[in-house]
Amino acid sequence: MIVAVASGKGGVGKTTVAVNLALAAEEEVILLDSDVEEPNAHLLLRPEIEKETPVPLLVPVFHRERCTGCGKCIEVCAYHALALIGRELLIFDKMCHACGGCIYFCPEKALTEGERVIGILQEGRAGKVRFVQGRMSVGEALAVPVIKKLREKQGAHTIIDCPPGTSCPVIQAVKGADFCLVVTEPTPFGQHDLRLLIEMLRVLKVPAGVIINRADLGDEEVEEYCRQEGIPVLLKIPFDLEIARSFAAGVPFVARLPRWRQAFSDLWQRLKRKGVRA
Ligand code: SF4
Ligand code: SF4
């Protein structure tokens, strides 16, 4: 069972839900932190990191002596990552999406494949939770290839902590999941971003359920929207002093509050029974 945990915007408790669910599940689960620009699940889970693997991208390497200046590579590159000045080819690394088009179409074999490291995967464990996070290198802009590599680490029971929003990295993190838990808060902003995310999940054909965080603040609009759209509200987490204390201490609240361990364990069981596509 692959469960993605997503939110239309940051700061609504998505990572908290992902970590607490991983800790409350009965089976050994793999928690993938795919928020590769700023992974922070490790701050709550505190895993022992055992292994780091670079994530390379295959980018063009220019061989000036073979180039005739024909310009074919410039025509082919949809990302404007190349510029030709006479027979000198400039490659703008950060704009290259590693599609391989210029290498394939260069008639003189003046472009060959080289590696550029754009991030790392860090793997470890916290108790029975196997943990893997992706982290982009400083200054890199391409999150999708790092998340793609991270998804190769998923197993039979996997929870994916997604990046916030509805952009390409989120799509890469969510697609193919059996179910998506959408974490939101009961405010107009929360409802707006929830709508966008639900529309995206419908296009991806990933079934969804909602978790409302800080459920006793704000208004009823999120629940009304869920009712109208037939989206189940699976859990409501109140604005609770004990939960806030746990968060401030950097401790997942299922570790301190048995009733919440039970609530997340029940949620996991419910997802296993009903949430998975046939
Ligand atoms: S690999 Fe693709 S994106 Fe990169 S420079 Fe070549 S054509 Fe452009
Ligand atoms: S396609 Fe090859 S030969 Fe033509 S300009 Fe580009 S690198 Fe040079």
Give tens-digit pLDDT for 8-51.
988 899 999 999 999 999 999 999 999 999 999 999 999 999 99
The band of 219, judged by pLDDT with boundaries at 50, 70 and 90, is confident
Considering every ligand atom, which ligand is closest to the CA of 102?
Answer: 1
Give yes or no for residue 276 having a pLDDT over 50: no
User: What is the number of the ligand 2 atom nearest to the C-alpha of 111?
Assistant: 7
Average pLDDT over residues 197-225: 94
Report in angstroms the alpha-carbon separations of 178 from 108, 234, 264, 273: 46, 16, 18, 12
In the chain, DSSP assigns E strands to 2-6, 29-33, 48-62, 82-85, 88-91, 111-126, 129-136, 158-161, 179-184, 208-213, 233-237
Asked if residue 71 has its Cβ within 6 Å of ligand 2, the reply is yes
pLDDT at 275 over 60: no
Atom 6 in ligand 1: which residue has the minimum CA distance? 102
Mean pLDDT of 142-155: 96
155-168 average pLDDT score: 95
CA of 74 to the centre of ligand 2 (A): 8
Gap from CA of 95 to ligand 1 centroid (Å)? 8
pTM score: 0.91
Residue ranges and CATH numbers for the domains of the chain are 2-55+120-272 (3.40.50.300), 64-109 (3.30.70.20)
Return the residue whose CA atom lies nearest to atom 4 of ligand 1.
96
